[in-house]
Amino acid sequence: MPHSYDHGGNVFTVARTLGVAPAQVFDFSASINPLGMSSMVHKALICSLDSLAHYPDTSHKELKQALAKYHGLSPTHFTIANGSTELIYNLPAMLPGKKALIISPSFSEYIRALNQHHWDAQHFILTPESNFSIDTDALEAALADGVDVLYICNPSNPSGTLYPQRTIEKIYSLCLSAGTFLVLDEAFMDFCEEASAKRMIVHSDNAIVLRSMTKFFGIPGLRLGYSISNATLAERLDAMGGPWSVNSLALAAGAAALQDVKHNQDTLDFVRQERRRLFESLAQFSRLKLYPSSVNYLLVEIKEGMTSRELKERLLLHRIIIRDCSSFMGLSERFFRIAVRSSDENNRLLECLGRILQ
């Protein structure tokens, strides 16, 4: 199945199919900052255009320093990449062993990357009935089976569940006991930074944190991500990427995005408020069940009457794209995910859902 069908954000293909401009499509399928990129990022991009006459800075020094300041860590702990997806694809080649366990439902690229490197990847499936909670006793038993790497996404994608630090600490200690390397994907953690496990992981020989600059900072088209790990691991990962996998504009945009404190705070305030409003409005529909979220998207289950695929097709007639979640391991054909967008866009979605579901 081609990549474009397995992810949200496929706005160009949808726009071509509908015969409209991409700007006329309401994309709820990709969870990108509804306030868009910061004006400081915009300015940095324009000021950096002349730098395209030169090769990008392979040391990524400025961005690493900006990240160090943002996280309160040393620059030596960061590896910059062409989106966190590049790191996801490089990790299986670097890690010893061949047996992986993925806490699912989760991001589909983990298993793709593992399969490319001929790993045996299994799923540890969480259920909607338990609100996607993790039974650590069952996980301990699964790790005892000789698992080399465990993947977990926190906050979870697609459920939006945020696991508290003590849960991640418990999982990390289970990994240490079992000799399992922990890959902790915090792609959406900027929305709830205080819950990050980065300080616990940063000195570990046995774990890494992945971060994305796509979602919170609103620059998916630039492809920028990074990892937080001990300095030795960071250096090894750095050496795995090609010499110029991150372009000059992405490096400049990343540094500017981290420095715009006001835009970042406005994003947090807006998403919190608009997510609550969207959640409460959707909860009025008797045919929908909502799952609590700490991020800029909501996972929704249709209780009866139609599948998420049917709903997706009906919303497309209104130029609205949602993420059909039936392809996620552990979710049925009745699950879909929607991003928290601007107030006007959210109102449009609610109005169209009202017409379809009543």
Per-residue pLDDT band for 42 (boundaries 50, 70, 90) equals very high
Dihedral, CA atoms, 88, 92, 98, 104, nearest 10 degrees?
A: 0
Structure tokens at 187: 């792609």
Whether residue 326 contacts residue 332, with contact meaning beta carbons closer than 8 Å, is answered with yes
Residues 6+ apart with CB under 8 A from 172: 182, 197, 200, 201, 204, 207
Q: Is a pLDDT exceeding 90 seen at residue 3?
A: no
Q: Are 78 and 228 in contact (CB under 8 A)?
A: yes
- Alpha carbons within 13 angstroms on the beta-carbon side of residue 146 total 4
Whether the per-residue pLDDT at 84 is higher than 70: the answer is yes
Burial 297-316, CB ≥16 within 10 A → b, else e: bbbbbbeeebbbeebbebbe
The residue among 134 and 241 whose pLDDT is bigger is 134
Least confident of 12-21, 57-66, 78-87, 154-163: 12-21
C-alpha–C-alpha distance, residues 255 and 222, integer Å: 13
- What does the DSSP 8-state code read for residue 284? T
Centre a 10 Å sphere on the Cβ of residue 262 and count the other Cβ atoms it contains: 10
| pTM, full prediction | 0.95
Q: How far is the C-alpha of 248 from the C-alpha of 61, rounded, in Å?
A: 12
Q: Which of 5-9, 128-132, 292-296 has the lowest mean pLDDT?
A: 5-9
Mean pLDDT, rounded, for 95-110 = 96
- Under a CB-based contact definition with an 8 Å cutoff, are residues 298 and 281 in contact? no
Please tell me the least confidently modeled range out of 1-10, 54-63, 222-231.
1-10
Does residue 5 surpass a pLDDT of 60? no
Closest CA to 172 of 190, 199, 193, 191: 199
Segment 148-173 mean pLDDT:
97
Structure tokens at 102: 């993925």
Q: How far is CA 340 from CA 20, 24, 232, 320, in A?
A: 23, 17, 38, 13
Q: Which of 119, 67, 107, 36 is closest to 246 using CA atoms?
A: 67
The whole-number pLDDT of residue 305 equals: 87
List all residues 6 or more positions away from 315 whose beta carbon is below 8 Å from its beta carbon: 321, 322, 349, 352, 353, 356
Amino acid in position 293: S
277-301 pLDDT, tens digit each: 999 999 999 999 999 999 999 999 9
Q: Which residue is it, tokens 């020094």?
A: 61
pLDDT of residue 169: 97
Q: Do the Cβ atoms of 76 and 234 come closer than 8 Å?
A: yes
Mean pLDDT of 32-47: 97
Reply yes or no on whether the pLDDT at 9 is more than 80. no
Please determine, for residue 8, whether its predicted confidence score (pLDDT) is greater than 90.
Answer: no
**Mean predicted confidence (pLDDT) in 297-326:** 96
Q: Indicate the average pLDDT of the chain.
A: 95
Position 2 confidence tier, pLDDT thresholds 50, 70, 90: very low
Report which of 343, 338, 321, 341 is spatially closest to residue 285, judged by C-alpha positions: 338
> Which residues lie across from 181 on neighbouring strands?
149
**Residue range 192-201: average pLDDT?**
97
pLDDT band at residue 242, thresholds of 50, 70 and 90? confident
- Residue 105 predicted with pLDDT over 70: yes
- The string of pLDDT tens digits covering residues 250-261 is 999 999 999 999
Residue with tokens 């399969």: 115
Residue 10, pLDDT above cutoff 90: no
The CA-CA-CA angle for residues 223, 226, 228, to 5°, reads 170
Q: Mean pLDDT over residues 19-31, rounded?
A: 92
Q: Which domains does the chain have, with CATH numbers?
A: 3-30+262-357 (3.90.1150.10), 39-260 (3.40.640.10)
The answer to whether the bond into 128 is cis (omega within 30° of 0) is no
Percent of the chain residues topping a pLDDT of 70? 98
